[in-house]
Structure 1
Amino acid sequence: MNPTFASDNYSGVHPEIMDALQRANPGHVGSYGADPLTAEATKKFKTLLGEDIEVFFAYNGTGANVLGLSAMTRSFDSIICSDLAHINVDESTAPERFTGCKLVTIPTRDGKIYPHEIEEKIQRVDDQHHPQVRVISISQTTEYGTVYSIDELKAISAVAKKHNLLFHMDGSRISNAAVSLQAEFRAFTRDAGVDVLSFGGTKNGMMFGEAVVFFNTELAKNFKYIRKQGMQLHSKMRFISAQFDALLTNDLWRRNASHSNGMAKLLEAEIRQSPKAKITQKVDANGIFVILPQEIIPALQEEHFFYVWNDKLSEARLMCSFDTTEADVRSFGKKLRELLK
């Protein structure tokens, strides 16, 4: 397949992580997390985010989100999120099926939701006929590739505290957000008031694996049962843990995310050379959203496949990965200019 800008899920496994998997493979160790690598990976998370957190490894992002939200809610609750949120658009009905909760969505133009919009959705509190808002869930980075500032996150947290709500963060691309903010993870998660975090690894060079991180550890009391019931307890846990251990060693997470973010900035510059291509969102991380003339899209996709995000607008989504090269980006820009002559 030609180099693509379809998704950071299309990329392979970073060599350092593949090496870690190979090192984890020989011999027998305890299963279901009773192994030295899981202990070491957990220790690294605690170094990053605080000794008093609880960390549980899961197989995939949907599992991490759904089970984290399950620990935060009861079936008569509701969850406020963006209308573009992954839990609303790209996880089928898994969040609603497993939590039993209603998703209350806020229309967004930049991927973000804002305090005044959230306040408007907090209605009919203590009314037995109405779903009771319990969680505010946001994505960092957002589905539009934008990044919440630390002040924006603290403002959402303030709304949550005011109304006795919980704050959930879908961090499938959290490393890209950290690089964009030039901040440590703790500064825009725990210190910004987040209660539960899905910490993504798959989109940043891992083969598989996500982590559910509890800053509010009261919510973690029964999570080992929730994870098992949700079919996310990996028997050979060391193969998830080994990857996180490698990702959080020698700043590999930062190197990978810095590269993919940097390639997105370069791609933005290439696209801006063509006036007929209109970038629709701020390029904060590793994604670009651009409106292209519909007639050129098939030919452009033949050389560098990507997805059309919005058919009506002819808006495409272009994602860069840890292994995107400058040559890939220049080739895309060259082909785009040829087609727009």
Structure 2
Amino acid sequence: MQQFASDNYAPVHPEVMAAIVAANDGPAVSYGDDPVSARLQDRAAEVFGERARIFPVLNGTGANVISLMAAAPRWGAVIASDVAHVHTDENGAPERVGGLKILAVPSVAGRIGPDAVDRYAGDLGNVHRAQPAVLSLTQVTELGTVYSPADLKLLADAAHAAGLLVHVDGSRLANAATTLGVGLREITTDVGVDVLSFGAAKNGGMLGEAVVVLSDGGSVAGASADLGEAVPYLRKATMQLASKTRFVSAQLLALLGEPGTPTSGTGEGAPLWLRNAAHSNGMATRLRAGIDAAGLTETVRITCPTDANVVFATLPRAAADRLRTHARFYDWAPGETADRVEVRWMCAWDTTEADVDGFVRALVGAV
């Protein structure tokens, strides 16, 4: 059965697997004091800027929780969109583990604007309210849309002006950079992001993500004077420090590229993160074009821009159920009427043109 459910379903990319095997050659110092992790740190400085410090962790929720805990005081709160993963899909981990209240604001196609900061800025200094300390943005958003560098700069400037730090949940950051035609630094460090959760598993990795600290974070009262000093302790305290960190570092290094190699490019000369993201984005574009060409627009209604590697649409529930005999995918939300449903069709680095074309044919038959 084909899968269009999640890019988490995809296998490990062969280059990532080869890097894991290479890291398995003999013993190495544990807990990140190994040569592979040292090279990863050097590469992070090349990719994100010389001040960047990278800390491999075990999963995306861990990366988000550690980032937010480092950026906020114990009494702090996090401003995020109403569809943010930290708000809807992490089982309350920022609240349960981090002790941080999520302040959700309405989004439009998954995105929020600078007015999200204004909405809660009046609570600053009010002892009766959780104190806004971090603005958390998701790139690519949960609805498959992308923030432009200009949008991110406006958001970061608004947050910093109010004394907040900026966190980006970048589980699909590679897809966003590819869509925008920029490097990873241009949509993080250069626009004022303070701390990043960098995703690997959705883009060809086996397991593991990273917290990337991009600033000292000293602008928020009660936050760590240096985010980079706080993260190692939080990583251990939240059970996200792998004893054999080199195997997580090897995956991240395979995606980002070895020190001294190009940080961008095209074709086989591009880093793996970009090649994988360009392919998965391209397959979603092909899927969207196939749906449009099939003349299904009256029955299959696209609900969000196809900015990255996912297509959102509504269709009759009965048709969705028939289509599920051909491929796995998830329902996202109720449709316009009780007999319709909104679904999410996700492409991955291993999705093929034949997969997409076969899915479109099955969709036509199901409808």
Match of 1:286 among 287, 302, 309: 309
Out of 316, 321, 335, the position equivalent to 2:348 is 321
1:73·1:99 contact (CA, 8 Å) conserved in 2?
no
Distance in 2 (alpha carbons) for counterparts of 1:46 and 1:90? 31
1:262 aligns with 2:282: yes
Identity value in percent? 45
For residues 17-28 of structure 1, what are the structure 2 equivalents within 5 Å?
Answer: 17-28=16-27
> Which residue of the partner structure matches residue 159 of structure 1?
158
1:310 is matched with 333
1:82-97 equivalence runs, <5 A: 82-97=81-96
Q: What is the rounded CA distance, in whole Å, between the counterparts of 1:122 and 1:110 in structure 2? A: 23
Q: What is the deviation of 1:27?
A: 1.1
Q: TM-score, normalised by structure 1?
A: 0.97
Alignment of 1:217-236 (within 5 A): 217=216, 218-236=226-244
The AA in structure 2 aligned to 1:12 is P
Q: Residue 361 of structure 2 aligns to a residue in which SS?
A: helix
Q: Is the 8 A contact 1:74 1:99 kept in 2?
A: no
Alpha-carbon shift at residue 38 of structure 1 (Å): 0.6
Report SS of the residue matched to 1:216.
coil
Deviations 1:15-66 (A, max 9, x none): 1111111111121111101111111111111111112221111010000000
Considering only aligned residues, what root-mean-square deviation do their CA atoms show, in Å? 1.1
CA distance in 2, matches of 1:208, 1:6: 18
Q: Determine the C-alpha separation between the residues in 2 that align with 1:71 and 1:117.
A: 21
Q: Is the 8 A contact 1:70 1:98 kept in 2?
A: no
Aligned residues: 339
**Secondary structure class of the residue paired with 2:18:** helix
User: Which residue identity lines up with residue 103 of structure 2 in the other structure?
Assistant: V
2:304 is paired with a residue whose SS is: coil
Structure 2 counterpart of 1:100: 99
* Farther off after superposition, 225-234 or 109-118: 109-118
Name the amino acid aligned to 2:272: L
For structure 1, the residue ranges without an aligned partner over 5 or more in a row are none
Amino acid at match of 2:203: N
**Residue 330 of structure 1: which of 357, 361, 364 is its match?**
357
Q: Is the 8 A contact 1:80 1:103 kept in 2?
A: yes
1:48 match: 47
Q: Which secondary structure state, in structure 2, belongs to the residue aligned with residue 296 of structure 1?
A: helix
Once the two structures are TM-superposed, the CA of residue 323 in structure 1 deviates from its matched residue by 0.1
Q: 1:117 to 1:33 in 2, by over 3 A?
A: closer
Contact 1:74 1:100 in 2 (8 A): no
Q: TM-score, normalised by structure 2?
A: 0.90
Please show how residues 117-266 of structure 1 align to structure 2 within 5 Å: 117-217=116-216, 218-249=226-257, 250-266=270-286
Distance (Å, rounded) in 2 between the aligned partners of 1:319 and 1:339: 18
CA contact (8 A) 1:134 1:165 kept: yes
